[in-house]
């Protein structure tokens, strides 16, 4: 048997064997990378705009928190560069818990704004309609004091008739706010 009779075996042994690929290569365009970086930079800007108390509720590591606090103190071109740095730092972190906490803060703010609008319209209804509206308020907040509400409403109506500052109107709002807070507990 000569060397060429068994040629196919000889060639198969010398060639590298191809292994099936388990991982599929995902190509990401340069534009998509830039869009993702821009989204993270916007997230960083939102974090910088938060106050100290709100920022404490967001799960951040020390380096990122320090970068955000620095951005809150600097201005102009340095601020822009610091925002870019924060965006770059966010690329290497899991941003899902940060985004979730930020969404919760926004939702809480939106709920509070909605509650304030509801209380303002309830206050206006009390001042406009008097005793009939008091029973509606007490249906919503049964632990409210009818007599206290009645006296505040009458004082607010007198202030409105005399073109005086709305001191009693503010008191009614504060009282309704307290009732709403105790109702939520």
Q: In whole numbers, what is the pLDDT of the chain averaged over residues?
A: 82
CATH of the domain at 74: 1.10.60
Render the chain in DSSP notation, one character per residue: --TTTTHHHHHHHHSPPPPPP-SPP----HHHHHHHHHHHHHHHHHHHHS-HHHHHTS---HHHHHHHHHHHH--HHHHHHHHHHHHHHHHTS--HHHHHHHHHHHHHHHHHHHHHHHHHHHHHHHHHHTHHHHHHHHHH-TTS-HHHHHHHHHHHHHHHHTT---HHHHHHHHHHHHHHHHHH-
Which of 49, 67, 93 lies at the terminal end of a domain, its last residue? 93
pLDDT value at position 17?
56
Q: Is the pLDDT of residue 82 over 80?
A: yes
Domain with 66, as residue range(s), is 30-93
Asked whether the whole model's pTM tops 0.75, one would answer no
Give the mean pLDDT of 32-47: 88
Report pLDDT digits (tens) over 95-134. 888 888 888 888 877 888 888 888 888 888 888 888 888 8
Number of domains in the chain: 2
Does residue 171 sit in the same domain as residue 133? yes
Does residue 126 sit in the same domain as residue 77? no
Does residue 134 sit in the same domain as residue 161? yes
Which of 70, 93, 116 lies at the terminal end of a domain, its last residue? 93
């Amino acid at each position: 048997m000569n060397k060429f009779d068994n040629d196919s075996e000889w060639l198969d042994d010398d060639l590298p064997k191809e292994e099936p690929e388990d991982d599929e290569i995902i190509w990401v365009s340069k534009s998509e990378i830039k869009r993702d970086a821009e989204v993270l930079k916007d997230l960083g800007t939102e974090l910088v705009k938060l106050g100290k108390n709100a920022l404490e509720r967001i799960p951040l590591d020390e380096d990122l928190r320090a970068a955000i606090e620095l951005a809150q103190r600097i201005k102009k071109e340095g601020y822009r560069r610091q925002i870019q740095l924060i965006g770059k730092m966010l690329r290497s972190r899991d941003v899902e818990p940060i985004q979730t906490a930020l969404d919760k803060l926004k939702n809480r703010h939106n709920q509070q704004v909605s509650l304030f609008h509801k209380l303002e319209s309830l206050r206006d209804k009390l001042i406009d309609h008097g005793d009939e509206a008091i029973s509606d308020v007490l249906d919503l907040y049964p632990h409210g004091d009818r007599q206290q509400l009645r006296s505040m409403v009458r004082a607010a109506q007198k202030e409105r008739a005399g073109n005086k500052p709305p001191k009693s109107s503010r008191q009614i709002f504060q009282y309704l706010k307290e009732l709403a807070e105790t109702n939520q507990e």
